[in-house]
């Protein structure tokens, strides 16, 4: 069953009923000011850090789901009836409800008793505010006398503290109201120099800033006493729960439309200019007032919206493809790229599943996110790489996370995830391939943000590489540390205490448990590093990196092969994990996927065996499960993986992040049908028809789909912020369609299904527009290229020597 449809032309997903199986969300903002917004206007906003600068409240774990939002109410002053045009919070039955989630905006419209209302929410580029444009039209034959209300509930900045420290926070709330603008200034009197504001383009017919005054005692957002009575009370919050509500009068003749603009924004004043007059306690509004005035003007709001559209047009135009498969096209051209931007911006911090208070930016996560993002904003990718590298430790190790506001490593989560450092090589390599900006390698970057410790970025990559070699185990495979990519394979944890964090508890010395996955990642990253060294003319280093890679491959062959597939790991007792000898967890996808992606076993048939075994044991109609058989009980020596009921998350769930590794592995074997088949099984657009089973948004990937051992097989969870976005984008674009960046130019190496007649694409790469057309003439993967009409050797198109800005590539596959 579907709950809406794709409007590809407008790059929107149109939801046609408000009660989707779960809140279907979108993101507002793409630079510093962000919000999440659901299809019924639920969600919240924050500035940079979803925990420390939360602007508005949201209630995770609430019933009904998805409460707290950007709520508009309309009231018919004659019938005294009131409703919300976004369905929540009043949940009236609406006519013609639609929610259009687009690129950086959401527009929710509906009609109720012949009054049409439509609200478009977005964040203008380069501003720290969001605009709500409410348009109300009277479709009656008689005049309508209405009141409109807009409301938000302020969060007292630190979302964690806001949800826990009531003895203090119920006293600190403060606001100001001036010229009809509500300013939220809790803690501004002391150490903060920032405030939030909520403004309205119409002369106000009333406001409220104290939640209880607005809602009335013992009432919820579904039935505010003031809205019911038709009049706000002009309350000023002193402590308790500061909020913002505006009331406007709407007298509409038949057919008449009126637009009202609401602004919710964040502003920082210079520390020495906080107050006006200087010795008062009143916010200095001199700097913010022009911004408010500007965007309350509907024509400026429209212009800002137009700029946002153009921004997305230009970002998405960097890669566009036309294949016979609509699901590929719309995910690659629109939604998957868009999701990659969200994961780059927010890492894993704020979604319907990430509460905004839990995590900083992950070292491995952010590096992987670059794979799907780097082409859209290389300069931001550069900055991110340098920030990440600056948190690296002198040993080459990494803090597992860092905080975006301070850019410092986060000691609470610690380090010792032994795969982490290698991802820096993968991220930097992706950046170099995209940009050809070799200067980044010479950029001095400190270790652990320690002034004086600066060394060129290249040195960081070398230490990442050595970090693995310095930590080899009994079989000469890499020691796993706290965990590798699979955060839940905690082989040194041995936790038997309820509630202990699997991520930070270590009860073993860590000298035995080894990871075949890290070995594969080492082989992959080592090859990338060798290619970088080679490009820089460092022959000795190139040779020694390749020698280490070859050694590691040999170790994998000897100690990482189980006969029909690659082993996953050795535990603290030196026993095999992911082996036919195991009772449960006999085969894991990570090692099959990453070994084959890294090219291990392509020459001796083991790669093929491993992927055949994957198909036989792990593939399901909803995607490839993480391992089989699922763990049916808790294993002290395995940790969190066995804490999940079978079929969920890392315990045999369909982890959509790792499916692309097997897709890429299949392309390395030349099996385009298999690769694209795996791609389609988890492609959200291709799952739209089974929306009642899948339940998450059909326009973005979810981290996990419940595996075959789960009672809810096929049900997705944890949409939006997942490495799945970047990896699927990377797999389909660079390996299946084969439009691949390389250090030397644009490589064209499609491995598409045999029945696919070809495709066309445009790629803007290093300032040149490449028009690509691929035609299939035979069933294989051999490609013959002509560039601007002239045949070339090989499949790498070097940047035009004569400075041409447009190049046409034709490829014949046979
Ligand atoms: C989840 C993992 C996640 C980890 C780190 C675990 O509970 O299952 O997917 O990576 O937490 O926060
Ligand atoms: C989610 C985490 O963000 C990611 O870093 C990890 O690799 C996967 N879960 C698998 O555990």
Q: What is the pLDDT of residues 577-586, one digit of tens each?
A: 999 999 999 9
Share of the chain above pLDDT 70, in %: 100
Q: Partners of 146 in the beta sheet?
A: 76, 250
**Ligand 2 nearest atom to the CA of residue 365, by list position:** 5
CA of residue 486 to ligand 2 center, whole Å: 6
What pLDDT shows up at residue 594? 98
CA of residue 648 to ligand 2 center, whole Å: 14
Dist. CA 704–CA 713, nearest whole Å: 11
Confidence category of residue 413, pLDDT binned at 50, 70, 90: confident
Is the CB of 488 within 6 Å of ligand 2?
yes
Confidence category of residue 115, pLDDT binned at 50, 70, 90: very high
Query: In the annotation, is 692 catalytic?
Result: no
Is the CB of 741 within 6 Å of ligand 2?
no
**Ligand 2 nearest atom to the CA of residue 650, by list position:** 11
Among the bound ligands, name the one nearest to the CA of residue 641: 1
Q: What is the pLDDT of residues 1-27, one digit of tens each?
A: 999 999 999 999 999 999 999 999 999
- What pTM was estimated for this model as a whole? 0.98
Dist. CA 371–CA 365, nearest whole Å: 10
Is the CB of 348 within 6 Å of ligand 2?
yes
Question: Which residue's CA is the closest to the ligand 2 atom numbered 10?
Answer: 486
Confidence category of residue 404, pLDDT binned at 50, 70, 90: confident
Dist. CA 377–CA 383, nearest whole Å: 10
Among the bound ligands, name the one nearest to the CA of residue 717: 1
CA of residue 487 to ligand 1 center, whole Å: 6
Question: Which residue's CA is the closest to the ligand 1 atom numbered 11?
Answer: 487
Dist. CA 686–CA 680, nearest whole Å: 6
Is the CB of 420 within 6 Å of ligand 2?
no
Among the bound ligands, name the one nearest to the CA of residue 655: 2
Is the CB of 521 within 6 Å of ligand 1?
no
Query: For 216-219, which contacts have Cβ atoms below 8 Å and span 24 or more sequence positions?
Result: none
Write the burial class of residue 66 (CB in 10 Å: 0-12 exposed, 13-18 middle, 19+ buried).
Answer: buried
In this model, does residue 95 exceed pLDDT 80? yes
Is the CB of 503 within 6 Å of ligand 1?
yes
- Residue 388: which of 439, 329, 354, 431 has the closest Cα? 431
Q: Specify whether the CB–CB gap between 66 and 90 falls below 8 A.
A: no
**Segment 67-90 mean pLDDT:** 98
Please enumerate in sequence order all residues whose Cβ is within 8 A of that of 405, keeping only pairs 6 or more positions apart, or say none: 48, 49, 52, 53
Q: Specify whether the CB–CB gap between 194 and 267 falls below 8 A.
A: yes
CA of residue 486 to ligand 1 center, whole Å: 8
Dist. CA 206–CA 557, nearest whole Å: 74
Is the CB of 354 within 6 Å of ligand 1?
no
- Residue 373: which of 421, 414, 319, 322 has the closest Cα? 319
Is the CB of 365 within 6 Å of ligand 1?
no
Which residue in 325, 484, 487, 571 is the catalytic one? Answer: 487
Dist. CA 400–CA 410, nearest whole Å: 7
* 191 torsion bin: left (phi>0), alpha (psi -120 to 50), beta (else): alpha
What pLDDT shows up at residue 431? 98
Is the CB of 588 within 6 Å of ligand 2?
no
On the CB side of 8, how many CA atoms lie within 13 Å of its CA? 12
Angle between helices 378-390 and 457-469 (to 10 degrees): 50
Question: Which residue's CA is the closest to the ligand 2 atom numbered 3?
Answer: 365
- Residue 127: which of 342, 341, 304, 376 has the closest Cα? 304
Among the bound ligands, name the one nearest to the CA of residue 486: 2
Most ligand 2 atoms within 8 A of CB, residue of 487, 588, 655 to mutate: 487
CA of residue 606 to ligand 1 center, whole Å: 31
Tell me how long the chain is: 814
In this model, does residue 492 exceed pLDDT 80? yes
CA of residue 751 to ligand 1 center, whole Å: 33
CB atoms within 10 A of CB 784: 13
**Ligand 1 nearest atom to the CA of residue 358, by list position:** 12
CA of residue 641 to ligand 1 center, whole Å: 9
Backbone φ, ψ for residue 265 (5° rounding) = -145, 175
In this model, does residue 411 exceed pLDDT 90? no
CA of residue 685 to ligand 1 center, whole Å: 26
What pLDDT shows up at residue 405? 78
Q: What is the pLDDT of residues 646-679, one digit of tens each?
A: 999 999 999 999 999 999 999 999 999 999 999 9
Confidence category of residue 728, pLDDT binned at 50, 70, 90: very high
Cis peptide before 64 (omega within 30 of 0): yes
Residue entry with tokens 């998350």: 649
Q: Specify whether the CB–CB gap between 240 and 172 falls below 8 A.
A: no
What pLDDT shows up at residue 233? 98
**Segment 786-790 mean pLDDT:** 97
Is the CB of 528 within 6 Å of ligand 2?
no
Structure tokens at 538: 């460092």
Is the CB of 484 within 6 Å of ligand 1?
no
Dist. CA 694–CA 35, nearest whole Å: 25
What pLDDT shows up at residue 403? 82
């Amino acid at each position: 069953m579907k709950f809406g449809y794709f409007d590809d032309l407008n790059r929107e997903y149109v939801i046609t009923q408000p009660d989707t199986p779960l809140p279907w969300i979108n993101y507002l903002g793409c630079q510093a000011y962000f919000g999440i917004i659901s299809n019924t206007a639920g969600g919240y906003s924050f500035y940079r850090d979803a925990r420390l600068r939360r602007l508005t409240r949201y209630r995770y774990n609430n019933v009904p789901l998805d409460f707290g939002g950007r709520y508009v109410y309309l009231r018919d002053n004659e019938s005294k009836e009131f409703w919300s045009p976004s369905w929540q919070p009043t949940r009236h039955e609406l006519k013609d409800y639609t929610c259009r989630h687009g690129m950086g905006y959401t527009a929710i419209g509906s009609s109720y008793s012949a009054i049409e209302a439509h609200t478009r929410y977005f964040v203008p580029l380069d501003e720290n505010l969001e605009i709500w444009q409410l348009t109300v039209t009277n479709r009656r034959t008689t005049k309508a006398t209405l009141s409109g209300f807009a409301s938000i509930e302020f969060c007292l900045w630190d979302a964690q503290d806001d949800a826990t420290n009531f003895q203090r926070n119920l006293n600190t709330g403060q606001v100001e109201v001036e010229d009809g603008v509500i300013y939220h200034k809790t803690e501004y009197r002391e150490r903060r120099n920032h405030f939030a504001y909520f403004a309205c383009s119409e002369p106000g017919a009333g406001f409220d800033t104290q939640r209880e005054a607005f809602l009335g005692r013992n009432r919820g957002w579904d039935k505010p006493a003031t809205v019911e009575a038709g009049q706000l009370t002009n309350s000023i919050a002193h402590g308790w729960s500061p909020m913002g509500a505006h009331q406007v009068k709407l007298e509409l003749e038949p057919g008449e439309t009126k637009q009202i603009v609401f602004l919710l924004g964040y502003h920082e004043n210079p520390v020495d200019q906080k107050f006006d007059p200087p010795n008062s306690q009143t916010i200095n509004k001199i700097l913010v007032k022009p911004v408010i005035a500007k965007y309350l003007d509907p024509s400026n709001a429209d212009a800002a919206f137009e700029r946002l559209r153009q921004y997305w047009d230009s970002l998405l135009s960097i890669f566009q493809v036309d294949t016979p498969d609509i699901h590929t096209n719309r995910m690659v051209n629109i939604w998957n790229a868009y999701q990659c931007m969200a994961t780059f911006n927010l890492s894993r911090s704020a979604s319907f599943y990430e509460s905004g208070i839990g995590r900083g930016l992950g070292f491995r996560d952010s590096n992987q996110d670059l794979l799907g993002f780097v082409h859209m904003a290389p300069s931001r990718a550069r900055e991110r790489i340098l920030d990440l590298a600056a948190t690296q430790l002198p040993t080459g190790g990494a803090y597992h996370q860092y905080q975006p506001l301070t850019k410092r490593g986060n000691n609470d989560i610690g380090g010792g995830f032994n795969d982490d450092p290698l991802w820096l090589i993968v991220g930097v390599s992706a950046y170099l391939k995209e940009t050809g900006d070799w200067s980044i390698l010479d950029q001095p970057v400190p270790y652990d943000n320690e002034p004086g410790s600066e060394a060129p970025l290249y040195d960081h990559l070398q230490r990442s590489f050595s970090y693995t070699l310095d930590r080899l185990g009994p079989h000469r495979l890499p020691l796993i540390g706290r965990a590798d990519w699979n955060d839940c394979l905690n082989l040194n944890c041995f936790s038997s205490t309820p509630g202990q964090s699997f991520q930070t508890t270590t009860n073993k010395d860590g000298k035995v448990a080894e990871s075949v996955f890290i070995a594969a990642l080492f082989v992959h990253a080592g090859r990338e590093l060798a290619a970088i060294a080679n490009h820089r003319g460092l022959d000795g280093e190139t040779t020694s990196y390749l020698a280490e890679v070859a050694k590691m491959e040999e170790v994998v062959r000897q100690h990482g092969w189980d006969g029909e597939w690659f082993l996953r790991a050795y535990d603290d007792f030196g026993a095999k994990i992911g082996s036919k000898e195991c009772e449960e967890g006999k085969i894991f996808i990570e090692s099959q996927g990453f070994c084959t992606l890294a090219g291990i076993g392509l020459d001796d048939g083991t790669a093929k065996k491993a992927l055949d075994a994957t198909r036989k044991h792990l593939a399901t109609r909803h995607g490839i499960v993480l391992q089989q058989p699922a763990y049916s009980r808790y294993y002290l020596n395995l940790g969190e993986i066995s804490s999940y009921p079978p079929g969920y998350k890392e315990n045999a769930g369909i982890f959509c992040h790792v499916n692309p590794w097997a897709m890429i592995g299949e392309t390395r074997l030349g099996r385009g049908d298999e690769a694209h088949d795996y791609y389609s099984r988890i492609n959200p657009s291709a799952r739209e028809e089974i929306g009642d089973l899948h339940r998450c948004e059909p326009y973005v990937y979810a981290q996990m789909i419940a595996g075959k051992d789960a009672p809810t097989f096929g049900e997705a969870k944890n949409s939006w912020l997942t490495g799945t976005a970047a990896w699927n984008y990377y797999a389909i674009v660079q390996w299946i369609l084969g439009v691949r960046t390389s250090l030397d130019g644009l490589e064209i190496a499609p491995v598409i299904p045999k029945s696919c007649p070809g495709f066309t694409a445009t790629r803007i790469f290093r300032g040149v527009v490449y028009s690509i057309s691929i035609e299939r003439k035979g069933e294989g993967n051999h490609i013959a290229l002509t560039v601007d009409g002239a045949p070339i050797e090989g499949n790498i198109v070097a940047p035009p020597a004569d400075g041409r800005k447009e190049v046409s590539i034709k490829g014949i596959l046979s």
